[in-house]
Amino acid sequence: MSYPKQLFHGDKGEVNARLWKGDSAPDLEIGTRSKVHYLATGASTGGQYGLYRWDMGAEPGSGPGAHFHRTMSESFFVLSGTVGLFDGDRWVNATPGDFLFVPPGGVHAFDNPEGPASMLVLFAPGAPREAYFEELAEIVASGRRLSEEEWTDLYHRHDQYMV
């Protein structure tokens, strides 16, 4: 495998890095169960990847059911607590330092089976996942109940296919 094509063609580097402080407030709260930090969105990385810190509260049940994506891979790196990770075959209680890579089409899910937990979630390439997260937050905040057809539409608009 070789390096990909050059993305920067200058003779000298640029001062354009962005620092995110660990004690920053979350960018989004999904009810009382999840806080999401937009570390690097697909838009801010030119579509290369999207990286999010996902903090789950004490109440189990913060994650989605088993699903897959057609356009992107998804990776999980556990920072704290215990994160239940489903690799399409089995659930594993992952602890800090554990990592799961899911290629496009790979069935997966996550949850917080034992209380508060935090993880990094990486999507590549950088799809606009913020719109999906924000739509979920609005649904939870409003108390709306979606029909099965409405859920299917929401998922498909955001490259999420439930199993």
Residue-wise pLDDT for 36-52, tens only, equals: 999 999 999 999 999 99
Residue bearing tokens 């620092």: 19
Nearest to 129 by CA among 56, 30, 60, 13: 30
CATH 2.60.120.10 fits 28-162, yes or no: yes
User: Does residue 62 register a pLDDT over 80?
Assistant: no
| Residue 111 pLDDT | 95
| Amino acid letter, 74 | E
| Residue 54 pLDDT | 97
> C-alpha 84: how far from its chain's center?
14
Q: What are phi and psi of 121, to 5 degrees?
A: -125, 125
User: Does residue 153 register a pLDDT over 80?
Assistant: yes
Residue bearing tokens 């937990």: 117
CA distance 23 to 108: 29
Query: pTM for the complete prediction?
Result: 0.93
Q: How confident is the model at residue 61 (pLDDT cuts 50, 70, 90)?
A: confident
Reported as half-sphere exposure (CB side, CA atoms, 13 A), residue 109 has a value of 18
Supply the mean pLDDT for the chain: 95
